[in-house]
Structure 1
């Protein structure tokens, strides 16, 4: 009897041990993910799908191909298709989030169709798969200034060859000029490297026109690859926007919008003076704007181009219900050899 009890106790012990081992093993499998050190395994986003969906928007496409990232539209009989290709994906601005360089191609029914064009976009990503910035370089359009080909990306540099567009430059094909370009992402913007080395405006560090801008954004000119600065100032009944670009010559477009119900000529003249005085007092180009202000205070206002020394400018006025708009276009000519897009592209001296 005693021996039987010993055997029973032995069997119960072993059985319990096996069940405990089995339970422990199962627990180790189920909790292994929580016990292991956490590693970032976030799946990469499909940026081409995001751009394709953005292209489609609220339109009703004829066909969508998510495998090859293309879409076609009927467009009221003037059909065209758009496709996307990834050139590179890397952390361009060193914030720990992957960014992208993308080629977009649009093909219309005819080679000269307005829907036939292509461009390269530097897409800077923010948090939560949000597109933070886009910097666009036009590679082809029917009447673009330049056509870019031989495009290649390596070691952080995008290389391309720019050739004058034969449709824009009415010269024999054998006389069309070409130039090698190289683009880099640096300090929050895309630069063509000869802009940094050969353009006077590149020496203007921390470009700023408005002293108290509420918004500011820098990008690249898609035609001549200079830096473009966009700024905005907002007040209760006044808004001012600035666009500055150029290589050696300064090109500036400033718009002022006044919210007002008084559209009389007297009030228009008053608001124009207020606009010009704002530019003189609240910008880094006070010396240039003082010349503009002085001219319009002592001369009849028209839309005719005015030249004063290196400055040329004109001001346009528009009124509509509840708003008066002024648009000042100003150029500072420091290099007469950069009067045309190709001369700016090649940084001609």
Structure 2
């Protein structure tokens, strides 16, 4: 532990300088990897990457640590299934114009085999709160064994990350398609540019789920790593009530709410109790969120029908269910999971269709 603390000893706080942005037509190449090996980082860059390595290590055991030259790396023994994680800065820029330099980091993890869960890659935007610590992290998945897509090429053109993706052969098996995408940080979030121009949900009047009420303790916007749509996550907390809310989708709204109830043992499997509690929850959500119109559709249905785990597909333009589970048999506790999808585009049901903002029937589609 003493060695680790010595290696990552903190530097004195330095005055934050605003760095001039790169010209829009400047091209910063992410690949080939040889260009970033053996690179000496500035003191500020080094302190930042070391902090990411500390975060990666956590409580894990490691046997090799390299923080002399970029990319910085750490090797984990992992009980006979060893892997290494490497970090390097591929772009630095003040993306949110607050006077503090932000970073895009290539995180590359390599396990024993290509299909190993520890073999993965991410392009991560870190929006900084000071020179060392970040306040936002937005990840674009480059590769994972059974990811939907693989990033084949990536380069910066000015402040825009241009990538070429191909369907993952482990997931799609054959007739693999490719597409070109571009990512920008704007309006307080990381966006794939076609989301802003081609997705209905980009036009939401409010970037929130719950109304503006004091019980909302967390609001986070980010990007979905597979289909590159904006995500919104929020938390409602009051007394012993905790509700997690999540929103995503391109043309089709995907909305979920999750909460837990302490229940008398005799009511755990009581159908009437489950239905009454479901309706109470849905009425609360209708009154306190931006989506009362959509939630009211569920209320109307469940007022006339039993609450089961079955997904309801009979209401035109909607798909929804309320999943009620006792996750721990030792606890008299039920989890209520509300799942709601409003279907405005029936041709965006699968991940590739969403990622490429598909608008037409499959047989009409051309390769991207």
TM over 0.5: yes
Give the structure 2 partner of residue 142 of structure 1.
145
1:53 correspondence with 2:54: yes
Give the structure 1 partner of residue 37 of structure 2.
none
Give the structure 1 partner of residue 310 of structure 2.
304
Give the structure 2 partner of residue 129 of structure 1.
132
1:110 to 95, 109, 113: 113
Give the structure 2 partner of residue 332 of structure 1.
342
Unmatched tracts of structure 2, length 5 or more: 1-13, 18-42, 360-368
C-alpha distance in structure 2 between counterparts of 1:247 and 1:301, whole Å: 28
Contact 1:147 1:165 in 2 (8 A): yes
1:169 correspondence with 2:172: yes
Contact 2:61 2:78 in 1 (8 A): no
1:318 correspondence with 2:289: no
Give the Å deviation of 1:304.
Answer: 0.6
- In structure 2, relative to structure 1, the CA distance for the partners of 1:66 and 1:261 (3 Å cut) is same
Cα RMSD (Å): 1.8
Give the Å deviation of 1:234.
Answer: 0.9
SS of the aligned residue for 1:224 comes to coil
Q: Deviations over 1:112-170 (max 9, x none)?
A: 11111000110011147322110011010111000012111131100100101111002
1:185 correspondence with 2:185: yes
C-alpha distance in structure 1 between counterparts of 2:15 and 2:62, whole Å: 37
Give the structure 1 partner of residue 66 of structure 2.
65
Give the structure 1 partner of residue 26 of structure 2.
none
Greater mean deviation of Cα atoms: 127-136 or 223-232: 127-136
Unmatched tracts of structure 1, length 5 or more: 1-38
Give the structure 1 partner of residue 21 of structure 2.
none
C-alpha distance in structure 1 between counterparts of 2:131 and 2:161, whole Å: 27
Give the structure 2 partner of residue 74 of structure 1.
77
Contact 1:268 1:324 in 2 (8 A): no
C-alpha distance in structure 1 between counterparts of 2:259 and 2:287, whole Å: 14
Q: Deviations over 1:237-282 (max 9, x none)?
A: 2121111111111111111223x35342365444322211111211
Contact 1:117 1:142 in 2 (8 A): yes
1:196 correspondence with 2:203: no
Contact 2:16 2:100 in 1 (8 A): no
Give the structure 2 partner of residue 262 of structure 1.
264
1:101 to 99, 104, 113: 104
C-alpha distance in structure 1 between counterparts of 2:277 and 2:83, whole Å: 46
Give the structure 1 partner of residue 228 of structure 2.
225
Give the Å deviation of 1:45.
Answer: 4.6
Give the structure 2 partner of residue 84 of structure 1.
87
Please say which structure displays the higher CA radius of gyration. 1
Q: How many residues align?
A: 307
Contact 2:195 2:229 in 1 (8 A): yes
Q: Deviations over 1:11-57 (max 9, x none)?
A: xxxxxxxxxxxxxxxxxxxxxxxxxxxx9477625221111111111
TM-score computed with the length of structure 2 as normaliser: 0.80
C-alpha distance in structure 2 between counterparts of 1:204 and 1:41, whole Å: 36
C-alpha distance in structure 1 between counterparts of 2:332 and 2:248, whole Å: 31
TM-score computed with the length of structure 1 as normaliser: 0.84
As a proportion of its length, which structure holds more helix? 1
C-alpha distance in structure 2 between counterparts of 1:257 and 1:309, whole Å: 30
Contact 2:275 2:306 in 1 (8 A): no
SS of the aligned residue for 2:354 comes to helix
Contact 1:256 1:275 in 2 (8 A): no
C-alpha distance in structure 2 between counterparts of 1:41 and 1:221, whole Å: 31
1:282 to 272, 281, 288: 288
